[in-house]
Amino acid sequence: MFYHCRELKYVTYGKVFPPPDDAQDESYTKCYRWLGHYCGFTPQIWLARSTSHITGFRSSDKCKKWEKDQILFGFEHIQGFGVDYSFWCELMNPIMNSEKIACFMDYMVDASADGLHYAAYKESRNVEDTLNRFLFVENDQVVVPSLNLKAAKKIICRNERQKKVLRKMGFIEDRIQVHNTHRRSY
């Protein structure tokens, strides 16, 4: 399954779009624009292949207020543009600092950084080939230009109040699950 998380106040029964550039941190906007050059759209909606921490959904009493009002949507089939989470995280800092990816990769190779992507780059010195082989792969996350929330097969919320709001919007009762525990059984 693919999972997408968003605050309840941004949930609608239907198609949703990413927040506008001016609603996001400027540093991240630079990264999303860079990715948009490759995937063909910016900003993006991010989905993860699991309920892991990269969804942004947390299962803890220590959550911040906005985290406690998040809803996790699960989808069976998503046609998206694959992005490897680990490699993406490594590239965000140089992108934010307007460094050339080739210079960053050269530095990492010279520093004997671990990873298949650095070994492949060291051999070829071809940034585009390295990105296509190791970053733009459907490993653990995908990006899409929009998302139809009513197509979700599983909807995870934290309490009955959220469930009631989701039902009023039109989401199917059988798909809504309340998980207000520390376990990650979903």
Q: pTM for the full model?
A: 0.86
Residues for the chain: how many in total? 186
Domain boundaries, given as residue ranges, for the chain: 2-83+137-178, 97-135
The tens digit of pLDDT for each residue in 7-63 reads 999 999 999 999 877 778 888 999 999 999 999 999 999 999 987 778 888 655 555
User: What is the model's pLDDT at position 183?
Assistant: 44
Extended beta strands in the chain, E state: 2-7, 15-16, 45-48, 70-75, 81-82, 141-144, 147-148, 154-157, 176-178
User: What is the model's pLDDT at position 25?
Assistant: 82
107's CB contacts (< 8 A; 6+ apart) are none
pLDDT at residue 97 greater than cutoff 60: yes
What confidence category does residue 182 fall into, taking pLDDT thresholds of 50, 70 and 90? very low
What confidence category does residue 119 fall into, taking pLDDT thresholds of 50, 70 and 90? very high
